[in-house]
Structure 1
Amino acid sequence: MARILVTGAGGQLGSRLVARIPDSIGFTSTELDITDPAAVGAAVGPGDLVLNCAAYTAVDQAETDRAAAFRVNADGPRRLAEACAEVGARLIHVSTDYVFAGTGTEPYEVTAPTAPRTVYGRSKLAGEQAVAEVLPSATVVRTAWVYSGAGADFVATMRRLEAQRETLDVVDDQIGSPTLAADLAAGLAELAALPDPPPMLHFTNAGQASWYELARAVFAGIGADPDRIRPCTSAQFPRPARRPAYSVLSGRAWLAAGLRAPRPWRDALETALV
């Protein structure tokens, strides 16, 4: 009987996918090393559907740890695609907005030219390319600005800092679409039920915001004064990896595939702040 396998099941997306699909089998990174061909080959069976949420996501660290980033983000997806191709399994692979240059002014379509500017982005693009090369029937789903409101993500960090600082400076010159991990998991679960999905899709919550606007929305949502958030520029907070200035992904292909429209990011945020 065909099974649904979720890699990266210990992360914020993978854990929610396992919860969303009760009969799925989740593998954390310690339970399945996706860069190990033998381990992957033993895990994937005929007719299985693999949802790959495993990734190296330390964007700044990747700048000096290129080998590790490419091992997980490029070699790992290739190994999964090879195993799926060998036994006739399906693969849905999760990727990122970082494959684009981040200099656009309109939402990136799935066909837009890629031009990653960070090691992380280049490693994720290499993973997309490996999957498409080895398993043309696979589907890559790009997403952006994913949070759950727990742990160390942006929304959780804003909630924590609200109780610790009188004011916060947050960049207002980076634009994207905040995406609730639970909503992304629901979208992937719906996609998994499609018999012949397209090779490339984008999924984010609808609308766009700057990190500054998202921080203000978090404060307002928990009953704090949003004016305690002050705008600043990226230049005032330099990071080892340059962040995209514009990361909005078009959902046109998602809707064209007959999939449910994602809800607005503000509605999703309310759910995370309850």
Structure 2
Amino acid sequence: MKSRSTGFSRLAPARRRRNSILLTSGLAIALAAVAIPFYWLAIAATHSSDDIFGSPPPLLPGGYLGDNLASLQETASFGRVVFNSALIAAIYTVCAGAVCTLAGYAFAKYRFKGRDALFGVLMLGLVIPTQVTLVPLFKMMAELQWLDTYQAVIMPNLALPFGIFLMRQSMAALPDELLDAGRMDGCGEFRLFCKVVLPPMKPALAALGIFLFLYQWNDFVWPLIVLRDNTSFTIPVALASLQGVDDTDYGALFTGTAVASIPMVIVFLALQRHFVSGLLAGAVKE
């Protein structure tokens, strides 16, 4: 018996070492798969179109970044486009965040007739293809004379089903006794929401903010439909307009894509500590 236990003890470190090597190798491969496209994007942004498609392709930074930025500004008024995207994404994140948070709180903590049925209907929005609603929404924007305006891009998706679902699941884990104690102390409903409900929801709010910002920042189809003037374009629409039938300035296109990626990385890095915990909030019940 002693010899068998000694054999197992000798095998255990070797097995752990092998598992560690396999895990490290897998993580290294995954990191390379994620990092290489970003590296190639950054490199291509500093080269001309001829260099990008040269053989062999460039692997080090070039000297065309300034020319690409100038071409981007000349052909797409890219400074104005970045401002449009930033303003729309910021307003949308704040307004949609408020709508989703209030709706999630109502579904999680208020009891009213038809609540579950209404929530079920709302969740159907997660499975209905977006393309189904494009024509009715476009007609609605045209009747309101909102075409080619910021509100046409922002308003239709304020009550985002996934955002409401995320906040409802997070707030369901908030103890009802905490809310009852606040009401007994004379706290009004709005003050109760701001002072008692929101502070524990910071991780969920961070996750919601990341999702809403990236959703709006990367949205292409709907802004393409309702925005007509190139001075009101968002970044995805402006970048798509650079692709011609016969000629495309890929240097400028890669540069614009690289610039468009910077705010997404900054937002995610700033809120990444809360992201995972926010997504898991409410997933486990005690």
Q: Please indicate the TM-score interval, normalised by the length of the shorter structure.
A: under 0.3
Structure having the higher strand fraction is 1
TM-score by length of 1: 0.21
Larger Rg: 2
Structure having the higher helix fraction is 2
TM-score by length of 2: 0.21
Q: Using CA pairs under 8 Å that are at least 6 residues apart, name the structure with larger relative contact order, 1 or 2.
A: 2
